[in-house]
Amino acid sequence: IAGMAEAHYAQIAPHLYCGPVVGAANIQLATCSPNFLILESIERWDGFHAQLLKSPIRWEEGYVIPPTSPGLGVELDEEVARAHPYAGEALHLVPASKPALAPD
């Protein structure tokens, strides 16, 4: 899709709505796409999502810092994932209580 958009001079705006692993994939897509405009996110993967990764995805002043480790740049903590299996009852995603850039 990003390639088709680029061929038509359109920009892309990947969404960081899912958990941190899918988010890491979207971050990598964004950083290698010449027609990337913005990453849209409702949260920064705190709490449970932060625990899922051995090293959290970093944010600075509202900007995500792309991971530089191999692959997607993140490593899943498999013990945490096994301790919280998805049962199909509800999403693990909990929307942020306030915008990411809102003052504390």
Which pLDDT belongs to residue 81? 92
Share of the chain above pLDDT 90, in %: 50
The model scores a pTM over 0.85: no
Distance of CA 37 to the CA centre of its chain: 15
* Residues whose CB is less than 8 angstroms from the CB of residue 74 and which lie 6 or more positions away in sequence, other chains included: 20, 21, 24, 53, 54, 55, 57, 67
Kindly indicate the confidence band of residue 97, based on its pLDDT and cuts at 50, 70 and 90: confident
Check pLDDT > 90 for residue 80: yes
